[in-house]
Amino acid sequence: MSAPRPDPDAQLAEAAERFGTPAYVYFADRIADRIERLTTDFGRWFSLSFAVKSNPNAALLAWLAPRIAHLDVSSGGEFARGVAAGWDPARASFTGPAKRADELEAAIAGGLGELVIESLREAELAAAIAARLGRVQDVLVRIAPDRVPKGFGDQMAGRPSPFGIDIEVAGDALAQIARLPGLRIRGLHIYSGTQCLKPEAIAENWRIFMSIFRDLCTARDLTPARLVFGSGLGIPYHPGDVALDTGEVAAGIAADLDAFKAEPRFRDTELVLELGRHLVGEAGYFLTRVVSVKESRGSRIAICDGGMNAHLAASGHFGMVLRRAYTMHRVGGGNTEP
């Protein structure tokens, strides 16, 4: 039997006294639980990758290093931060459509595992840098699909997008990238939607990914070492949001993934599930202290030592027309809706 866990409120109160407020506090045991759940639900098909852009906290990155297979960075600064936190650069991928030449050079020279190519221009720039450094850089080519199911908070498919190479021209682009000296295509990457709480929509989106991967790999006779699925798994932010059941996602996609992995071309391919907020978002608190209470036009307003300067979204983005309330938790007093 596992030992009982400490009272979260007691830990939050201790953190407030020890570190002061405002502060962000993360519960490692909750992240460990989420990793265990994801591994249980998807581990027979996927390894896990953490997207640093979702939370670049250095202590968090160091804690994740021995627990997650891969790290995805979206800037030279994130790459440096991950390495400083103890990550082997060979376990990192580098996404993002606006990589500068100096960032590419630092990453390639620093032993980056895989560069995620988002355009032909970027491929040509990276190839020139790799050749000048006397290296052959492994790359994944990011594809921009032409459709994404309904139910995603933000959609990056079927419309003009800075991310990835449009599926309509991806076959020709892959051929051009394959001819560039200094680059070696290791696989493909798709991330087309985020913050989804609907299991059936996520399963359908992954089916779209598999169809695209299959068609492109067959057309180019590519046996990929790695295929990255941008998971799109969401978390509940607001009162009334229903938490995603990843077991239901797994049940809805299991037969498709089993069939995909049974195909000779993909039998030895590593499938990677890239996650951000779903992995760590529900493990954190923004901790702020009420310093005074103001009476204004018949209302009592709590004045805190941290607000839009530290959590802009929860403060309504300072002018957002349709503001959605975040759940507030009074340490020692339970949850409330503002």
Smallest CA-to-CA distance from 280 within 35, 79, 92 is with 35
Distances (CA, A) of 9 to 12, 16, 25, 37, 292: 5, 10, 12, 24, 21
Over residues 83-103, the mean pLDDT reads 98
Q: Is 335 found in the same domain as 219?
A: no
Per-residue confidence band for 155, with pLDDT thresholds at 50, 70 and 90: low
Q: Is 137 found in the same domain as 70?
A: yes
Q: Is 170 found in the same domain as 97?
A: yes
Is the pLDDT confidence value at 291 over 80? Answer: yes
Is the pLDDT confidence value at 138 over 80? Answer: yes
332 vs 51: which has the higher pLDDT: 51
Q: Is 56 found in the same domain as 16?
A: no
What is the C-alpha R_g of the chain?
22
Helix, strand, coil proportions of the chain in percent (round to 5)?
40, 25, 35
The pLDDT of residue 176 is 98
Q: 160 Cβ partners below 8 Å, 6+ apart?
A: none
How are beta strands 290-296 and 299-304 bridged, if at all?
antiparallel
Over residues 267-271, the mean pLDDT reads 99
Last residue of a domain, one of 260, 283, 306: 283
Cβ count near 27 (within 10 Å): 18
Q: Is 187 found in the same domain as 318?
A: no
Output the CA angle 250-255-258, nearest 5 degrees.
95
Cβ count near 213 (within 10 Å): 25
Percent of the chain whose pLDDT exceeds 70:
93
What CA–CA distance (Å, rounded) separates 211 from 17?
53
CB 199 within 8 A of CB 151: no
Q: Is 204 found in the same domain as 167?
A: yes
CATH value at residue 109:
3.20.20.10
Output the CA angle 89-90-92, nearest 5 degrees.
65
Q: Is 152 found in the same domain as 4?
A: no
Percent of the chain whose pLDDT exceeds 90:
81
202 vs 318: which has the higher pLDDT: 202
Q: Is 299 found in the same domain as 177?
A: no
Is the pLDDT confidence value at 216 over 50? Answer: yes
Q: Is 301 found in the same domain as 190?
A: no
The pLDDT of residue 227 is 99
Last residue of a domain, one of 255, 283, 311: 283
Q: Is 15 found in the same domain as 62?
A: no
Q: Is 247 found in the same domain as 297?
A: no
Q: Is 297 found in the same domain as 270?
A: no
The pLDDT of residue 316 is 67
Over residues 303-320, the mean pLDDT reads 79
pLDDT digits (tens, 9 = 90+) for 39-86: 999 999 999 999 999 999 999 999 999 999 999 999 999 999 999 999
Per-residue confidence band for 89, with pLDDT thresholds at 50, 70 and 90: very high
Is the pLDDT confidence value at 139 over 70? Answer: yes
| Mean pLDDT score of the chain | 93
Bond into 224 cis (ω within 30): no
Token pair listed for 230: 């941008």
Per-residue confidence band for 320, with pLDDT thresholds at 50, 70 and 90: low
- Helix 76-84 with 101-109: angle, nearest 10 deg: 30
Is the pLDDT confidence value at 2 over 90? Answer: no
Token pair listed for 170: 């991806």
CB 326 within 8 A of CB 336: no
Bond into 22 cis (ω within 30): yes
Q: 266 Cβ partners below 8 Å, 6+ apart?
A: 213, 214, 217, 224, 227, 260
Token pair listed for 113: 């595992």
CB 33 within 8 A of CB 64: no
The pLDDT of residue 237 is 85
How many domains, in total, are found in the chain? 2
The pLDDT of residue 333 is 72
The pLDDT of residue 1 is 46
The pLDDT of residue 307 is 85
The pLDDT of residue 230 is 94
CB 79 within 8 A of CB 92: yes
Last residue of a domain, one of 283, 298, 329: 283
The pLDDT of residue 328 is 84
Domain region containing 67: 27-283
